[in-house]
């Protein structure tokens, strides 16, 4: 599989329920509106990697 659109509909229902229940255990209310596709998810991951690289030294200093 290369994209979430290739998953069967019941799998998306199960994923949505998992994330909503997971946050419920933390006493947080979450509504999963939609799942992103491959391209959007990839962009978010790459932005996160860059953010980590940009702030790596600050993060490491917090744990010294």
| This model's pTM is above 0.85 | no
Q: Are residues 2 and 23 in the same domain?
A: yes
Nearest one of 24, 44, 47, 28 to 36, comparing CA atoms:
44
**Judgement on whether residues 29 and 40 belong to the same structural domain of the protein:** no
End-to-end CA distance of the chain: 42
Residue 25's pLDDT is 84
- What domain count does the chain have? 2
pLDDT exceeds 90 at position 45: yes
- Residue 13 and residue 58: Cα distance in Å, rounded? 39
Domain with 18, as residue range(s), is 1-33
Looking at the fold, whether 28 and 52 belong to one and the same domain comes out as: no
Residues 27 and 42 in one domain: no
CA–CA dist 60, 64 (Å, integer) = 7
């Amino acid at each position: 599989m290369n994209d979430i659109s290739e998953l069967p509909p019941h799998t998306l229902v199960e994923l949505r329920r998992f994330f909503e229940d997971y946050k419920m255990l933390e006493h947080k209310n979450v509504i999963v509106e939609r799942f992103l596709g491959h391209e959007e998810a990839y962009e978010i991951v790459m932005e996160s990697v860059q953010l980590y690289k940009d702030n790596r030294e600050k993060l490491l200093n917090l744990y010294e």
